[in-house]
Each structure stands twice: as structure tokens, then as C-alpha cells.
Amino acid sequence: MAIKLHDFNGEHSLTWDAGGLAADAAVAGAGHEPNGYFWEGLVRFTWPDIAERLGFDSEAGMFCAVGSPGDLERLKTAVESVITSPEAVRDLIARAKTSGFEFDD
């Protein structure tokens, strides 16, 4: 699984392919679809301080955030350990559920 940082004509984005991630089984086990929209919701819930400064263009098969190189680097560092850890994802989904957060997956 590779998180990719892109620079297209001065527009910076961060992407990864949804599906095939180590955490997918935990996402599905919690009743969610492990698609780009789910991951966008997880980012918005878990790192709202970063998410509020980003734009999102996620799809079913891909997560995509658009923003400054600094914010995207911060997000990349934060999310790398989560998308590879079923335990971390289960914990974050449980926290989101407790807080009343609704995923749009």
C-alpha cells in the first residue's frame, strides 16, 4: 500500500487506493465499506485540525485530499500507522460511534 503525494501544475494532493489495505477487514467488520469515502470520514473525525484546511475528492476506490504540501505531509504521517493497523481503525471507529459521528461510506 502506498500513500502518494502528487504535484500537478502547483496543485498538491495525497492519495491512496482503497481496498487491499491491512485495516479493511476491521472496517468491514464494523459495518462500513472500506472505500475512499469511509477514509475521508475517518480523516475528518480523527484529524479535524488538518481536515478543515483540505479539500477532498475521494471516490469509491481511492482516497484523495487536496491542500498545501505541509498539511498533506502532516496527514500522511498521521494516517500511515492507522491504515495499516486493524486495531487502530477499530478503536477510531468505536470512538467515532461513541461521539455520534456518521460515516458517509
**pTM score of the predicted model:** 0.93
Angle at the Cα of 45 from the Cα atoms of 97 and 6, rounded to 5 degrees: 140
Instruction: Dump pLDDT digits (tens) for 31-45.
Output: 999 999 999 999 999
Could you state, in order of their start, the residue ranges of all structural domains in the chain? 4-99
For the chain, how are helix, strand and coil distributed in percent, rounded to 5? 50, 20, 35
Nearest CA among 52, 56, 76, 66 for reference residue 8: 66
Per-residue pLDDT, averaged over 78-86, amounts to 92
**Is it true that domain 4-99 has CATH number 3.40.30?**
no
Q: Give tens-digit pLDDT for 44-65.
A: 999 999 999 999 999 999 999 9
Phi-psi region of 13 (alpha: psi -120 to 50; beta: other; left: phi over 0): beta
